[in-house]
Amino acid sequence: MPFQVSRRALLGAGSALYSFFALATGALAADDATDMPEVVIREKTNVMEKYKLPNTAESITREKMADTVNVIDPEDSVKYMPSLSLRKRNNGDTQAVLMTRTWGYSSSARSMVYVDDIPITALIANDNSKGGPRWGMVAPEEMERVDMMYGPFAAQHPGNSMGGVLQITTRMPDKLEATAKQTETLQHFNLYNTKDTYRTDQSSATFGHKIGDLSVFIAATSTNSESQPVSVLTRANTTGLTSTTGTIAAVSKSGGTANVVGMGGLLRTEMQNIKAKFAYDFTPEIKATYTLGFWQNHGRSRVESYLKDASGASTFGAADTTGANNGGTFAAANYILEQVQTSHALSLKSDTKGMWDFEGNVTHVHFDRDIQKQPLGTLGGTTFTTNGKYTQMDGTNWTTSDVKGIFRPTGPGGAHEASFGAHYDRYILVAPTYTTANWRTEAPITGKTTDSRGDTQTYALWAQDAWKLTDTVKATLGGRWEYWESFNGYVLSGNTSAYAPATSRTAFSPKATLAWEIVPQWTVTGQAAKSTRFPTVSELFMTGGTGVSTSVANPNLQPERTNSYELSLETTLGEGKTRVSLFQENVTNALISQSNVNTTGTGTSTYVTNVLEIRNRGIELAAQQNNVVISGLELAGSLTYVDAEIIKNPAWALATQTVGKRVPNIPTLRGTVAATYRPTDEWAFTTAARYQDRMATTMDNTDYVNKVYGSFDSFFVIDVRARYKHSENLEAALGIDNVNDCRYMEFHPFPQRTFIAELKLKL
């Protein structure tokens, strides 16, 4: 049985920790107990400012998040940032993938997400499932600010930054503090014959203290959520459905038969996160930090059948003990998910702002337990088989290390600020699938149907110089050299197995930016960069799978290489800023994932292929202003247009039908708008809206049907939030996501109207 932590245990542990530290430090703080200063959060140097990164960027602070965004999970913080979209299916979603300016869903490895020094982007895959960033490794209450840097224009970032880099900065306290927060949500959902209300309750607590040169911060979050159905169970044939009623006639996204027989993915999630950070100031400018993260998730997905037998009782149809026909529809969506992951990060940094600064860090993320198990088929009625299968990713992990330096030969703000560094990472995939006599207990094992194993590692050196040519002109020049290799590749599928030969590649990626303040408060910036994204271990070696999706390995993939360009004009007139950016990416050997519906209509098969050349280009408008017309009114918005086209695709069997088509998973148009009114220091009222075009997911763009399972529909969603800050110690908020109850699919049915309530106490 997996190790599990109850909410009561979490809260009890938090209380005990608070009491222990309060008692332990009471004597030390006795002299100051009657004259304790206000809590002051230590400002961290923004990573963009410290390393003079040239990227176009957008940011949101902790206070603005609290005012404007209904944050349940940490990824909610990016909801209204320009050009960003989040494939978050439900609260506590472990597969929430970020869409960036030039890349859509199924592109998890084309953007990087960092929490301080820890990369939580799972570069073991580039998809909408295993590759989702490990958002659970960061607690919402520890976030101090979030910065989005667009494009691969900084030499210190790998080619996976072609879509951008999301940097989450967390906080440390300056004195004894503790917080407790409770969040409740209710979602009303109505689709086909499913009508229900689904609830999420989340409890979080933080504790922090600074004792001399030692700082401690502990954050714990426990989330229990009930999800709306995230899969629609469909059938392309009538096998096993004789003498049943209740089937709803429907088609697939490509117009084929996909009759609806029920719902799946009704997921009950119990998730806990504990984060402990310890920092020691050797001097005011040199600090060492160790971070320990623990995250666990227990999910139980159930199904709902619309089928009735001759007597009117619910049924899955005729018995199907192999799951090959009707039984596979229901068995594939009925599963148990158990996950335990730990993360470690150790860093040593200086922030002298003198001639030299340095930084070194090592991180490790490990899947201590990661298993998804399900029955093999059905026995008749609504009974599943005892035997089943499971995929176990225990031991999958990644390790990164970085050494960085900054050299300011003429001092801070001088003509030159050079930065440089070395990087190493290793990603290890372990993913066998077993058959078992009892799928719930995983034992005894009766066989192995698939196995996917492999390693990738990368060595890199980089350097960059921010050069002030004049008081109004600055050039940033840099380059990154990388050596990548894959090895230990092994693929087993059925009775066929193969060891993949070791391969290696090198790449050099030059970067150049020129910024000119043409007149005060008006700046034009031009950027150009090359980048290389190497295949992930899952793209190379992953086969099989559980649930409703399977993957097909391709060990012969080539890295994709990108030329990126951006021209932007930005003004800071007024109390805010306005920006317009023209951008283009030309990609060769683009790694494109495709999914086809199985012939039985019970699921999808996913594979990756190299597309010789694609081109993504477009325009982005972003603006934000404070005190518009009346004091306290803030307006912000963005609009992004992308023309994404397949240019060359000779390897595709129907190449003539794909050239000139849209690149899959990238919408043409998306936008956001938000208005926040702060009539007093205590109140903040926000209304925000998000829009996104429908998008094709196949290379020949034949998926033209909307509002069906598997389609990616257009949507227009309105959210509202009201926050009341009674004092520094007490605040509350009420919100509604999807006020207009927009019903749409992003492959999966997405949440409908959801009510949110928050209460936060600070001691």
pLDDT in tens, 355-405: 999 999 999 999 999 999 999 999 989 999 999 999 999 999 999 999 999
Average pLDDT over residues 452-479: 96
Average pLDDT over residues 710-723: 96
Cross-strand partners of 526: 514, 567
Distances (CA, A) of 151 to 161, 335, 383, 664: 6, 38, 51, 19
Distance CA 272, CA 294 (A): 8
At residue 382, what is the residue type? Answer: T
Confidence of residue 411 (pLDDT cuts 50, 70, 90): confident
Distance CA 723, CA 181 (A): 14
Contact 94, 136 (CB under 8 A): yes
Distance CA 306, CA 262 (A): 5
Average pLDDT over residues 527-556: 82
CB atoms within 10 A of CB 573: 11
- Parallel, antiparallel or unpaired: strands 112-115 and 165-170: parallel
- What pLDDT shows up at residue 496? 86
As given in the structure block, the two tokens for residue 556 are 């012969």
Task: Please say whether the dihedral angle defined by the alpha carbons of residues 608, 493, 605 and 654, taken in this order, is positive or negative.
Answer: positive
- What pLDDT shows up at residue 656? 62
Residue 41 has pLDDT above 80, yes or no: no
Which domains does the chain carry?
37-205+216-264+281-762 (2.40.170.20)
Residue 51 has pLDDT above 70, yes or no: yes
Average pLDDT over residues 489-510: 92
Contact 359, 350 (CB under 8 A): yes
Distance CA 595, CA 597 (A): 7
Residue 577 has pLDDT above 90, yes or no: yes
* Furthest C-alpha separation in the chain: 86
Distance CA 99, CA 695 (A): 13
- Parallel, antiparallel or unpaired: strands 604-625 and 549-551: parallel
Reduce the DSSP state of residue 435 to 3 states and report it. strand
Residue 307 has pLDDT above 80, yes or no: yes
- What pLDDT shows up at residue 10? 41
Cα 671 to chain center, whole Å?
Answer: 19
Q: Higher-confidence residue: 321 or 435?
A: 435
Rg of the Cα trace of the chain?
26
pLDDT in tens, 737-761: 999 999 999 999 999 999 999 999 9
Distance CA 56, CA 621 (A): 12
Place of tokens 């970020």: 98
Picking from 700, 669, 666, 479, the residue whose alpha carbon sits closest to that of residue 585 is 666
Residue 15 has pLDDT above 80, yes or no: no
| Whether the predicted model's global pTM rises above the 0.85 cut | yes
Prior bond to 444 cis, omega within 30?
yes
Torsion angle of the four alpha carbons 503, 506, 507, 508, in this order, in degrees rounded to the nearest 10: 170
Contact 663, 614 (CB under 8 A): yes
Confidence of residue 304 (pLDDT cuts 50, 70, 90): very high
Contact 164, 300 (CB under 8 A): no
The helix or strand, by DSSP H or E, that contains position 26, with its residue range, turns out to be helix 7-26
Confidence of residue 549 (pLDDT cuts 50, 70, 90): low
- What pLDDT shows up at residue 652? 63
